[in-house]
Structure 1
Amino acid sequence: MGGFDYLRLIAAILVIAHHARVLNGEPPIMIGTSLDLGALGVGVFFVISGYLVSGSLERTPRLWSFIAKRALRIFPGLLAALLVTAFVIGPASTALARSDYLASPEVYGYVLKNLTLYAVTYDLPGVFLAAPVAGVVNGSLWTLRLEFTAYLALAALGAARQVKPRVLTVLALAAAASAIAIHALGLDARGDLYRIAYLAAINGFLFLSGAALRTSAWRAPSWLAVAALIPLITPLWFLGLPLIALRLGALNAPRAPVDLSYGLYIYSFPLQQMLAERSQLNLATSLALTLPFALASWLLVEKPALRLKARLPPAPAKPVLNPVAALGD
C-alpha cells in the first residue's frame, strides 16, 4: 500500500502551497467555490488516517496498546518540533532581546500547552510580528487536536465493539449532515466556535468515511471515483473526497524509503513565517527550507519512536475487533 505514502506527501505539499500564498497576504488558490489547497490537503490526511488507523485497531489486542501506537506517532515528533520552534526559530525571529525572550514564561508555556493538543497557543513573545500574518507561529497545530480526538473516539467504539461498517457509516453521515447544516445556516461565518464545529464536522466525516470503507472492505469502482470529482467544485466538496483519496492510495507503488509528510506538516508553518518576514516566501523556498527539517524529524525522532511499537503486545491469533484484511498500520 505504498500509494498512501506518496498521497500523504502530496497532501503535505498542498498545505505548504496554500500557506505559501496566505502567509504572504495573497488570496488562496481555490478549486471551485469553497475548497482551497490547504483544506484539500488536510482532508486527504483525515481520510487516510481513518482508513489506516481503523486497520491498526483491528490488529491491536488491547485498547491501551492502540492508544500507545497513536501517541508514538504524534507526540515525539510534535515535542521535537515545539522545542525547535520555541528555542531555535523563536530566538532567531523575536523582536525582543534574546535574554528577555528566554526569560518569558510564555516560551515554556508554548511547548507545554501545545503538547497537550487541547490548549493550543499560536504565539511566542515578539515572534513574527513583522509578518503579513502577524504573531501566528504555527497555525497548523489545530488539526492535531481533531486527529487525536478521532483516535480516542475510534478507541471508544472499539471498546463497545461497534467498529462496524454500519455504525461508522451512520456516524459519518451524521457528521456530514452537521457540516451541511452549519454551512447552510451561515453559522461557520459567525465566529470561531461555529467555524471549529464546521471544521470538526467535515474532518470527522472524512475520518469516519475512511474507517467505514476500510471495515467494509468495499472498493469504489473507477467510474465512481471519477464521478466523485464533481463535488470538489461545490460547497459539498468533502462528500466525494474519501472515494478519490482511497482509490489513489490503493495504487500499487513501492514503499517510500522515508515518510516526510508529518515533518513537513509540523515544521513548515513557522519556517514559512520566517521566509514571509524576509519577503522570500514561495513554494520553492518553503520546500527547500522545510525538507531538511522533515528529514531530520523522520530519521532522528519519528522512526526511532515508531520502533517502540514492537515492544507492545503482539496481536492475538484472532483479532478482537471485527477483522477484515490487514493492510497498513
Structure 2
Amino acid sequence: MGGFDYLRLIAAILVVAHHARVLNGWPPLVLGQGLDLGALGVGVFFVISGYLVSASLERSPRIGVFLAKRALRVFPGLLAALLVTAFVLGPLVTSLDPLDYLSDADVYGYVLRTMTLYAVAYDLPGVFLNAPVAGVVNGSLWTLRLEFTAYLALAVLGAARRATPGVLASLALVAAAGSIALHAAGLDARGALFRIAYLAGVNGFLFLAGAALQACRIRPPLWTTLTAMIFLVTPAWFLGLPLIVLRLGLLDAPRPPVDLSYGLYIYSFPLQQWLAQEHQLTLATSLAVTLPFALASWMLVEKPALRLKTRLAPRASPPVPLSPAAALSD
C-alpha cells in the first residue's frame, strides 16, 4: 500500500498550495465546479483515512484499543504544533509586548481549547493582525474535529457490530444525498450553518466511502477509475474521488522513509500566515519553511508516538514491518 504514503504527501502539498493563494488574498484555484486545491487535498485525506482506519478496526476489534491508537496518531503531534505556535511563533510575531502576550490567558486557552478538537481557538493575542486574512492562526484545524468524529462514529458501529459493508455503503449514500441536496438548495444564500453541514456531508461521505471500499475488498478496475474522473468537473466531484484515490493508493510503490503529511498539514497555515504578513508567501517559500517542522514533527513526536501503539495490543509473533501509511492506520 505504498501508494497511500505518496498520496497523503500530495494531499498535504495541495492544501499548502491552496493556502499559498488564499492567504495572500487571492481567489482559490478552481479545478471544477466547487472543487479547489484545498477541497481536493482534504478529500483525499478523508478517503485514505476511511480506508485505512476501517482496516485498523478489523485488526483491533477492542474499541478502547482502537480509540487509543487514533488518539496517539492525532494528539501528540497536535499538542507539539500548538505549543510551538503559541509559545515560539506567537511571541515573535505578536504586535503586543512579548511579556504582555505571554501573560494573556488567551494564549494558554488557545492550546487547551484546541486540544479538545471541539472548541478550537483560531486566534492569539495580537498575532497576524496585519495579514491579508487577519487574525486567523491555524485555519486548517477544523478538519481534525470532523476526522475524530468519524473515528468515534466508526467505533460506535464497531461496538454495535454494524461496521459491515452494507451499513457503511448505506451511510455513505445518505451522506452523499444530503450533500447534493444542500448544494442544490444554494449554499451561498443559506449561510454558514448550511456550509458547515455541506462540508461535513461531503467529507463524511468520503470517509465512509473509503471505509466501505475497504470492507468490500474492492480493487477498482481501470475503466471505473477513468469514469470516476468525469465527476471531478461537476458539482458532485466528491462522488468519483474514492475510486480514484483507492486505485492510486493500492499501487505497489517503495516505502518512503518518513511521513511528512501530518506535519505539513498542522504547521503550514501559521507559518504561511507569517510569510503572508511579511509579503513573502509563495508555494516555494511555504514548503521551504514548513518541511523542516514537518520532519521534526515526524522524527521527534509522531514516530515515537506510533511506537506506543504496539504496547496496546501485544502480538504473539513479531509484527511484519508496515509502511508509514499502514502504521498510521493500525
> Does the pair score TM above 0.5?
yes
CA RMSD in angstroms comes to: 1.4
Provide the rounded CA distance (Å) in 2 between the counterparts of 1:203 and 1:197.
Answer: 10
Provide the rounded CA distance (Å) in 2 between the counterparts of 1:149 and 1:316.
Answer: 32
Whether the 8 Å CA contact 2:117–2:144 is kept in 1: the answer is yes
Residue 54 to residue 212, structure 1, CA distance change in 2 (3 Å) = same
Residue 189 to residue 219, structure 1, CA distance change in 2 (3 Å) = farther
Provide the rounded CA distance (Å) in 2 between the counterparts of 1:87 and 1:302.
Answer: 20
Whether the 8 Å CA contact 2:172–2:205 is kept in 1: the answer is yes
What residue is the counterpart of 1:320 in the other structure?
A: none
Q: 1:60-105 CA deviation, whole Å, 9 max, x = no partner?
A: 0411000000000000000000000000111111001111100101
What residue is the counterpart of 1:84 in the other structure?
A: 84
What residue is the counterpart of 1:67 in the other structure?
A: 67
Per-residue deviation, 1:189: 4.5
TM-score by length of 2: 0.95
What residue is the counterpart of 1:234 in the other structure?
A: 234
What residue is the counterpart of 1:159 in the other structure?
A: 159
2:30 is the alignment partner of 1:30: yes
Structure 1 spans left out of the alignment, 5+ residues: 318-325
Number of residue pairs matched? 321
Per-residue deviation, 1:256: 1.0
Query: What is the correspondence of 1:274-313 to structure 2 with a 5 Å cutoff?
Result: 274-313=274-313
Per-residue deviation, 1:306: 0.5
Per-residue deviation, 1:289: 0.1
Q: 1:121-160 CA deviation, whole Å, 9 max, x = no partner?
A: 1000000000000000000000000000000000000001
TM-score by length of 1: 0.95
Provide the rounded CA distance (Å) in 2 between the counterparts of 1:11 and 1:105.
Answer: 35
Per-residue deviation, 1:32: 1.6
Q: 4+ residue runs of structure 1 moved beyond 6 angstroms?
A: none
Instruction: Please give the secondary structure, in 1, of the residue aligned with 2:308.
Output: helix
2:176 is the alignment partner of 1:176: yes
Provide the rounded CA distance (Å) in 1 between the counterparts of 2:117 and 2:34.
Answer: 27
Residue 68 to residue 188, structure 1, CA distance change in 2 (3 Å) = farther
Query: What is the correspondence of 1:1-329 to structure 2 with a 5 Å cutoff?
Result: 1-187=1-187, 189-314=189-314, 329=330
Provide the rounded CA distance (Å) in 1 between the counterparts of 2:246 and 2:316.
Answer: 28
Provide the rounded CA distance (Å) in 2 between the counterparts of 1:65 and 1:311.
Answer: 10
Instruction: Please give the secondary structure, in 1, of the residue aligned with 2:258.
Output: coil
Provide the rounded CA distance (Å) in 1 between the counterparts of 2:168 and 2:315.
Answer: 23
Instruction: Please give the secondary structure, in 1, of the residue aligned with 2:121.
Output: coil
Per-residue deviation, 1:188: 5.5
Residue 305 to residue 152, structure 1, CA distance change in 2 (3 Å) = same
Amino acid at match of 1:272: Q
Amino acid at match of 1:121: A
Per-residue deviation, 1:315: 6.2
